[in-house]
Amino acid sequence: MQIHVVKQGETIDSIANFYNITSNTIISTNEIPYPYTLVVGQSLVIPIVGRIYIVKQGDTLYQIAENFGISYQQLAGVNQLLPNQTLMVGQKLYIPPLPKREVEINAYVEPFGKEVSEDLINAAKEASPFLTYLAPFSFKVLRDGSLKPPLLNDFPEIAEDNRVVLMMVLTNLEEGQFSAELGRTILTNEDIQKTLIDNIIETAKDLGFKDIHFDFEFLPPEERENYVEFLRRAKQRLSREGFLMSVALAPKVSGEQEGLWYEAHDYPQIGAIADFVVLMTYEWGYSGGPPRAVSPIDEVRKVVNYAITTMPPTKIMLGQNLYGYDWTLPYVPGGEYAKAISPQRAIELARTYQVPIEFDETAQAPFFEYVDNDNNEHIVWFEDARSIQAKFNLVKEYGLRGISYWKLGLPFPQNWLLIEDNFNVTKRIE
């Protein structure tokens, strides 16, 4: 695959001619709506084998080859050049595809209301060929150790049809919020814990779940050791019954990090107990906060740098959002919440209001500003092919287990194409 960023004056036809493919291929691959107009700064995925590189001032074969992870002799050979040949600025070079590595991919799916929407079912169907795990969110733990299940509808059948492991997500949610008191009730009563683990095992067997995933958040800091002991007790039971066990972790950058989200999550101990963990590396930019990238790569890298000092990289799944936010300006704390939008919708907004898409190099994330029809100013931060590829490169650099997406339902076709281009997705079910 090639990622192409649209420049001023370019059209779908001119880009297609450059890569020697049809315009319809670009339109269908990127799901560009009629009338098929582009936005300056928009990233396109170009479905070619390998990629094309345009030589810049000062480039050498050796430098280019090193940047792409191949030998300069191979780069010279595939382009019919001499190894010591001087390059011309603007010259086209073909970069052959690199070997793919194995990863695991998870995606949460969160149904609302009294029945699962057709759009959400279709999103799960479209994503499942690229998934190792599918995680309906969530089984709510009640104060007596019983469970309130989510709507499942077609999810078990979709998982089975695509050799995807069903992940059973357990949360301490009460009335739509993570409850510290519910967490305390569970973690300080071994009888309730035993009942809870019994109910988890019975429900998982009945419904076909193979991985048990604990997402207990905003736990009281003083329950840190109790949470570790509960997970250790649960792991012993679950392993005997043949289940995997995974845990969602707040995005910490040190063991001493303060804050209600962080303190009860002990990376070294939980990393030693769990089969794998999911780092919730998103929501730096969130709906109730000031505008910024949702998962800026500089912040994500800090979390990974800490995590790999506490557990093997092969236990770590990198959290990744499949959405962006549209903030109305000026931002006022406690004021109007930003609206979650899909990457596709973000591009539509930029096209509608005829504004270019910019790219923050530090955060490795796209954004743009616009003024709506009521003269309100907005800023949108979202994900595109470049920002996702940056996270994929991070997974490769650190040798991480894979990626976990929050959450299905907002269309982002480029993401799945880039997974296929970068990785071989592990399927745990034969």
What are the pLDDT digits (tens) for 99-153? 999 999 999 999 988 889 999 999 999 999 999 999 999 999 999 999 999 999 9
Count Cα atoms within 13 angstroms, Cβ side, for 96.
12
Q: Does the pLDDT value for residue 62 go beyond 80? A: yes
Distance between CA 291 and CA 71 in Å, rounded?
42
Enumerate the domain spans of the chain.
2-95, 101-425
Mean pLDDT calculated for residue range 270-280: 98
| pLDDT the model gives residue 113 | 83
Q: What is the pLDDT of residues 351-392, one digit of tens each?
A: 999 999 999 999 999 999 999 999 999 999 999 999 999 999
What residues are annotated to the active site?
A: 217
**Positive or negative torsion for Cα 281, 301, 395, 231:** negative
Confidence of residue 193 (pLDDT cuts 50, 70, 90): very high
Task: Kindly report the average pLDDT of the chain as a whole number.
Answer: 96
61-70, 354-363, 400-409: least confidently modelled range: 61-70
Q: How far is CA 83 from CA 57, 67, 93, in A?
A: 18, 16, 13
* Residue showing tokens 């990863």: 103
Are the beta carbons of 83 and 61 closer than 8 angstroms?
yes
Residue 430 above 80 pLDDT?
no
Report the pLDDT value the prediction gives residue 133, as an integer from 0 to 100. 98
DSSP string for 67-100: HHTS-HHHHHHHTT--TTPPPPTT-EEEEPPPPP
Give the model confidence (pLDDT) of 329-340 as tens digits.
Answer: 999 999 999 999
Q: Which CATH number fits domain 101-425: 3.20.20.80, 3.20.20.150, 1.10.645.10, 3.20.20.140?
A: 3.20.20.80
Which residues pair with residue 248 across a beta bridge?
278
- What pLDDT is recorded for position 112? 86
Return the pLDDT at 114.
85
CATH entry 3.10.350.10 includes domain 2-95: yes
* All residues at 6 or more sequence positions from 308 whose CB lies less than 8 Å from its CB, including other chains: 316, 398
* 287 neighbors 327 (Cβ within 8 angstroms): no
Pairing of strands 177-178, 276-279: unpaired
For CA atoms 244, 249, 252, 257, the dihedral sign is negative
Residue 180 has pLDDT above 90, yes or no: yes
More confident residue, 69 or 404: 404
Statement: residue 161 has pLDDT above 80? yes
Q: Is the pLDDT of residue 23 over 90?
A: yes
What pLDDT shows up at residue 102? 97
User: What percentage of the chain reaches a pLDDT higher than 90?
Assistant: 96
243-258 tens-digit pLDDT: 999 999 999 999 999 9
Cβ atoms of 167 and 106 within 8 Å: the answer is: yes
Closest CA to 115 of 157, 158, 147, 150: 150
